[in-house]
Amino acid sequence: MRKIHLLLICVFFSFIFIVFYLSLQNPKNYDTEDLIGKKITELELNLFGKDGTFNTKEISNYQFTLLNFWASWCAPCRKEHKNLIRLSKNKNLKIIGVNFKDNEDNARQFLQEMGNPFYILAEDSKGKKSVNFGVYGIPETILVNSELIILKKYIGPLNSKDVNEISKLIKK
Amino acid sequence: MKNIIKGFFLLFFLITNNFADEDLNNKILKNLRCLVCQGQTVSDSNSDFAQIIKSVVDDKIQEGMTEKEIYNFLSDKYGDWILFNPPLKKSSYVLWFLPYALFAMGILFFFYLFKRTSIRKK
Amino acid sequence: MLGDLGIIFVSTALLISLALIYFSLHEVKKSNNVIPKNIYNFSLFQLTFSLLSFIVLLIGYIFSDFSIINVYENSHTTKPLFYKISGTWGNHEGSLLLWINILVLFSSLFLFINKNKNKKFKIFTLLFQNLLIVIFFIFLLTNSNPFSTIYPVPNEGMGLNPILQDPALAIHPPLLYIGFVGSSIYFSAALSALVSKIDAKSLATSIKPWILVSWFFQTVGILAGSIWAYYELGWGGYWFWDPVENSSLMPWFVMTALLHSILVLERKIGLYSWVIILSILTFTMSVTGTFLVRSGILNSVHTFANDPSRGLFILTFLILMVFSSIFIFFKYAPTENKNYRILSKEFFILTNNWFMIFFLAVVLIGTLYPIFLDTLTGTKISVGPPYYNFILAPFLIPLLFLMTSGPKHKWISSKIKNFFNVVLFLSIFLFLIAFFLIKENSLLLNLILFFSIYLIIQTLFDLYDDLKSRIINLSRIISHLGFGLLIFFISINHIFSQENNFNLKPGETKETDNYVIKFENLEKFSDSNYKSIIGHFKILNKKKLFKENLKPEIRIYNKPMTVTYEASINSRFFSDTYLTMSNISNSDIFNIKFQKKPFMNFIWLSVLLISLGGLINFFNRKKSI
């Protein structure tokens, strides 16, 4: 009876300690990657600077779409902007920008300064529409295919590695 | 007499059961995690993200969404991590049932000890 | 230079600790029963150098010696002196040095004060304790050295997080460390008891005062943390079931269980193995808590800056500690006298143990589950207050009931006759009054209220009986009374807390059902290390025509650059009025949160009352330690 107890207890603690050890090796921060594989929300977004709306349903008309959430006051957005410009050169990729909680004039100036990669530009001045896309900070970028399925979600500015990844994914 | 008491309880229950919208709003916000903060609820946070979520929850309540529907909506977009009350799913069965299993085991163990010593008494 | 001095002192203390281990091993082989003087002397030297190293760090903070990296990273010349001092332990390395000092302090105190006649027992306790000390010294020197220096010496420090600059938080770590770090001594004593084979009563008398002291400080330390959270964090709550809070609560559960079990062990030899297990478990929970908090695997508002290498070291230590204890226990397991009978009184004490261990298990499950789930499946979930409240609250009812009926009654059969007594009827009567006043429709809350009233009334009656018959068992009565009051006031506070959230511009007024809140104006203010915007509010209580002024602030600290929201709290006898404000970005509108929190002071006092019971027991004990 003794030996079995000892063994059971050792196994129990070993299990716990192994999980502790593994958790140390795996500092995965929170991200919304569970959205990958889900369909994007069908939603009406107001166009930036003009009347009219854009329905995300229309993304099915494009081969691949990049939904980019940005603002003029956001420093990392500045950093990634040139990558967006680079990506906008792809024929089968359309970049839809969502200007997030921004001042219209500042946003316009930002685009004048840095270039406009956006095929369509929408605005979300209160930030509420972006909640439908699981956005919790900016910049965030979502790669969607013509079936409205989310292929990838990028939290934070797009770096060159991301650009390469996207370029590969949209070749299919 | 019993009917009067029952009536009393029913009356009290009815009177106190009209949850104001504000209460529901608070209740939901206290159950949501502020994703950009360190361990705070949306209710307690002043961050931009929290302000947006507060506004969205308010809108959803006005639209008539129930509490559960709002939680489903948010956890669909942000994952279960945003909810402080872990929903009962396959991934949380152990979490919810293990305590009761342990308590039951403890009671059984107690009875076992009890029986052992009372047998010895005889 | 100061940094070098610190390292010298720490290294010396480490060497002395190694010497102590060596001499202890040497001593146990000898058959005489006297501890040689050199061990006492070495222990004294060890304590001296350890304290000196801590004083060196303290001096570094007080005089803002930024050549020491630790001081540079965590302090600033403009900080008030009190917070410069408390900054010493408000960071990982400094607090680790405090950890070690407590280990050393308890080691020396035990050696000098404990009057147990068994030399082997005392030496082995010293040995095990010093093994802990040596490992922590090595951890400090290799991974978390508070004395590393920087050159050239910076002119100014990086400052201490302003939310940590609060009196309650300043004393919170030292209090808690005397608590759960102090539990190391009875951890060592328990292992020593196994190896030296001392008898049960001897062990009980030896460790009881240490259990009482650590339990008292743990209780008060947790209280200080809650008070800080309430006054400083600005959400109006005092307990969030945050993993770091849970890490301090879990050892407390085990300490309370141990406290109760030791009462049985004092008189009978039953429970010997169980007491040893609990003693080992307490310090194990302490180290586990430390691991969770400092390794970076938790997400919490309390965490220290995270570093996985620390986590690895602490985990390794935890593994060594646990497996060594398991092996020592199984090898030297005491032969239990299985013929003892559990009498009724002891049975009830054991039910306390059952509940404490159960609560420990629930909190442990809630805290660890997200980590386990994430590591094993990649799914991230949160476990927060709704979970803990849902699972734990119902179990308060049987616990309160057992606390009420247990201590008095002789045996179960006779208990049923005596059950229907004055206390019960008075409690029912008072409860009904409360029920009609409170109008709470939750069955659970009403049951909790009733049973807490029942406990309160019973303990008051017990108090009267005790004073009348001059048999004093004050400690149990006071602590249980405190617990009953605590649950009662927490419930009332939960039921009657009000919260109103609204937006206002300066000059505007908001009217709620019972209050009129006028946002009079904004004031700008500057202090040595922050600038603030103060909102002046006048609150009118419509029913009582009572006016109060509140001034919540938004503070912008310069070093480090942080924004904090200072709540304005008017703590009155029956309730607190709690106001916070925050500005909505890009506007002149402020979001105001107005709260009424009843009986907060009573909640704090109840916890103090609980701890007082322990203190009374400490001073009441007979003779030998």
Q: At C248, list the tokens.
A: 């301090």
List pLDDT tens digits, range B25-72. Answer: 889 999 999 998 888 899 988 888 999 999 999 999 999 999 999 999
Cα distances (angstroms) measured from residue C349 to each of A62, B91, C413 = 72, 37, 18
- Confidence check: pLDDT of C262 > 60: yes
Neighbors of chain A by Cβ distance (3+ pairs < 8 Å) = B, C
Radius of gyration of chain C (CA): 26
Q: What is the domain partition of chain C in residue ranges? A: 1-164, 166-334, 386-496, 498-601
Choose among C309, C245, C299, C319: nearest CA to C92: C309
Find how far residue A115's CA is from the centre of its chain. 21
Indicate the pLDDT class of residue C421, thresholds 50, 70 and 90.
confident
Is C387 in contact with B85 (Cβ distance < 8 A)? yes
CB-CB neighbours of C623 under 10 Å:
6
Q: Check CB contact of A30 with chain C, cutoff 8 Å.
A: yes
Exposure letters C203-233 (e unless 16+ CB within 10 A, then b): bbbbbbbbbbbbbbbbbbbbbbbbbbbbbbb
Supply the pLDDT for residue C305.
57
Q: Check CB contact of A21 with chain C, cutoff 8 Å.
A: yes
Supply the pLDDT for residue C195.
94
Is A22 in contact with C326 (Cβ distance < 8 A)? no
First to last CA, chain A: 63
Check the CA dihedral C281-C286-C289-C295 and report its sign.
negative
- Confidence check: pLDDT of B99 > 80: yes
Cα(B39)–Cα(C239) distance, integer angstroms = 12
Is A23 in contact with C378 (Cβ distance < 8 A)? no
Q: What is the domain partition of chain B in residue ranges? A: 19-87, 88-122
Q: At A8, list the tokens.
A: 């059971």
Indicate the pLDDT class of residue B10, thresholds 50, 70 and 90.
low
Q: Check CB contact of A13 with chain C, cutoff 8 Å.
A: yes
Q: Check CB contact of B47 with chain C, cutoff 8 Å.
A: no
Across chain B, mean pLDDT equals 82
- Is-contact C368 C276, C-beta < 8 A? no
- Confidence check: pLDDT of B118 > 70: no
Is C380 in contact with B92 (Cβ distance < 8 A)? no
Share of chain C above pLDDT 90, in %: 67
Neighbors of chain B by Cβ distance (3+ pairs < 8 Å) = A, C
Find, in chain B, the residue whose alpha carbon is nearest to that of C592. B46
Give the position of tokens 């956001």.
A74
CATH tag for B19-87 (out of 1.20.58.220, 2.40.100.20, 3.30.70.1140, 1.10.8.640): 1.10.8.640
Secondary structure class of C535 (helix, strand, coil) = strand
Supply the pLDDT for residue C517.
93
Q: What is the ipTM of this complex?
A: 0.89
A-C contacts at Cβ under 8 angstroms: 50
- Confidence check: pLDDT of C333 > 70: yes
**Alpha-carbon distance B114 to nearest alpha carbon in chain C (angstroms):** 8
Return the amino acid letter for C598.
P
- Is-contact C378 A22, C-beta < 8 A? no
Q: What is the domain partition of chain A in residue ranges? A: 34-169
Is A6 in contact with C330 (Cβ distance < 8 A)? yes
**Alpha-carbon distance B13 to nearest alpha carbon in chain C (angstroms):** 6
Supply the pLDDT for residue B18.
37
Supply the pLDDT for residue C423.
87
- Confidence check: pLDDT of C473 > 80: no
Cβ neighbours of C312 in A, within 8 Å: 21, 24
Cβ neighbours of B76 in A, within 8 Å: 38
Indicate the pLDDT class of residue B120, thresholds 50, 70 and 90.
low
- Confidence check: pLDDT of C412 > 50: no
Q: What is the DSSP string of A126-162?
A: TS-GGGGGT--SSSEEEEEETT-BEEEEEES---HHH
Q: At C318, list the tokens.
A: 């935890």
C143: phi then psi, degrees, rounded to nearest 5? -120, -35
Residues 6+ apart with CB under 8 A from C402: C348, C351, C352, C355
List pLDDT tens digits, range C364-382. Answer: 999 999 999 999 998 899 9
- Is-contact C84 C61, C-beta < 8 A? yes
Cα(C410)–Cα(C347) distance, integer angstroms = 11
Q: What is the 3-state secondary structure (H, E, C) of C274-330?
A: HHHHHHHHHHHHHHHHHHHHHHCCCCCCCCCCCCHHHHHHHHHHHHHHHHHHHHHHH
Cα(C56)–Cα(A20) distance, integer angstroms = 35
Choose among C2, C171, C149, C154: nearest CA to C83: C171
> If residue C211 lies in a helix (H) or strand (E), which one and from where to where?
helix C200-232
- Is-contact C295 A24, C-beta < 8 A? yes
Q: At C320, list the tokens.
A: 């060594």
Indicate the pLDDT class of residue B16, thresholds 50, 70 and 90.
very low
pTM beyond 0.90: the answer is yes
Secondary structure class of C347 (helix, strand, coil) = helix
Indicate the pLDDT class of residue C362, thresholds 50, 70 and 90.
very high
Secondary structure class of C538 (helix, strand, coil) = strand
Choose among C582, C207, C163, C64: nearest CA to B50: C582
Burial environment of residue C165 by CB neighbours within 10 A (0 to 12, 13 to 18, 19 or more): buried
Instruction: Find residue C595's DSSP bridge partners.
Output: C499, C578
Is B52 in contact with A32 (Cβ distance < 8 A)? no
Q: What is the DSSP string of B22-76?
A: HHHHHHHHHTBB-TTSSS-BTTT--SHHHHHHHHHHHHHHHHT--HHHHHHHHHH
Supply the pLDDT for residue C558.
78
Q: What is the DSSP string of C416-454?
A: HHHHSSHHHHHHHHHHHHHHHHH----HHHHHHHHHHHH
**Alpha-carbon distance C372 to nearest alpha carbon in chain A (angstroms):** 6
Helix axes C119-142, C37-62, angle to 10 degrees: 30
CATH class of A34-169: alpha beta
**Alpha-carbon distance C197 to nearest alpha carbon in chain A (angstroms):** 19
Torsion (CA) C421, C423, C426, C429 in degrees, nearest 10: -80
Residues 6+ apart with CB under 8 A from C334: C194, C197, C200, C272, C273, C276
Q: Check CB contact of B31 with chain C, cutoff 8 Å.
A: yes
- Confidence check: pLDDT of C411 > 50: no
Find, in chain A, the residue whose alpha carbon is nearest to that of B78. A134
Cβ neighbours of B53 in A, within 8 Å: 131
Mean pLDDT score, C274-287: 96
Q: Which residue has the higher pLDDT, A90 or C625?
A: A90
C164-178, C236-250, C414-428, C456-470: least confident range: C414-428
Mean pLDDT score, B66-90: 94
**Alpha-carbon distance A46 to nearest alpha carbon in chain C (angstroms):** 21
- Confidence check: pLDDT of B14 > 70: no
Find, in chain B, the residue whose alpha carbon is nearest to that of A138. B49
Secondary structure class of C543 (helix, strand, coil) = coil
* DSSP category for residue C180: I
**Alpha-carbon distance A74 to nearest alpha carbon in chain C (angstroms):** 14
List pLDDT tens digits, range C558-610. Answer: 767 888 889 999 998 899 999 999 988 778 899 999 999 999 999 999 999 99
> If residue C547 lies in a helix (H) or strand (E), which one and from where to where?
strand C546-550
Cα(C214)–Cα(C220) distance, integer angstroms = 10
Cα(C182)–Cα(C213) distance, integer angstroms = 8
CB-CB neighbours of A144 under 10 Å:
24
Across chain C, mean pLDDT equals 90
Supply the pLDDT for residue B5.
55
List pLDDT tens digits, range C81-122. Answer: 999 999 999 899 999 999 999 999 999 999 999 988 899 999
Supply the pLDDT for residue C117.
87
User: What is chain A's length?
Assistant: 172
Give the position of tokens 């001593």.
C27
The partner residue sitting opposite A27, judged by closest CB among C308, C318, C330, is C308
Check the CA dihedral A131-A135-A139-A143 and report its sign.
negative
Supply the pLDDT for residue C81.
92
Residues 6+ apart with CB under 8 A from C43: C20, C107, C108, C111, C112, C126
Supply the pLDDT for residue C415.
52
Per-residue pLDDT of chain A (172 residues; tens, 9 = 90+): 578 889 999 999 999 999 999 998 877 778 787 888 899 999 999 999 889 999 999 999 999 999 999 999 999 999 999 999 999 998 889 999 999 999 999 999 999 999 999 999 999 999 999 999 999 999 999 999 999 999 999 999 999 999 999 988 888 6
Cα(C327)–Cα(C322) distance, integer angstroms = 9
Cα distances (angstroms) measured from residue C375 to each of C191, C294, C303, C364, C372 = 33, 18, 20, 16, 5
Supply the pLDDT for residue C533.
93
- Confidence check: pLDDT of B80 > 60: yes
Give the position of tokens 């803990």.
C388
Q: Which of A4, A20, A26 to mutate to test the interface with C (most CBs of C within 10 A)?
A: A20
Q: Which residue has the higher pLDDT, C297 or A68?
A: A68
Supply the pLDDT for residue C339.
53
Interstrand relation of A64-70 and A140-145 (parallel, antiparallel or unpaired): antiparallel
Instruction: Find residue A25's DSSP bridge partners.
Output: none
Mean pLDDT score, C55-65: 95
> If residue A96 lies in a helix (H) or strand (E), which one and from where to where?
strand A93-100
Cα(C110)–Cα(C183) distance, integer angstroms = 12
B15-24, C322-331, C589-598: least confident range: B15-24
Supply the pLDDT for residue A5.
87
Q: Check CB contact of A69 with chain B, cutoff 8 Å.
A: no
The partner residue sitting opposite B55, judged by closest CB among A32, A128, A136, is A128
Is C381 in contact with B44 (Cβ distance < 8 A)? no
Interstrand relation of C562-566 and C553-557 (parallel, antiparallel or unpaired): antiparallel
Q: How many Cα neighbours within 13 Å face the side chain of C557?
A: 19
List pLDDT tens digits, range C486-510. Answer: 999 999 999 999 998 888 999 999 9
Give the position of tokens 């002119």.
C155
**Alpha-carbon distance A22 to nearest alpha carbon in chain C (angstroms):** 7
List for chain A the helix, strand, coil content (%; round to 5).
40, 25, 35
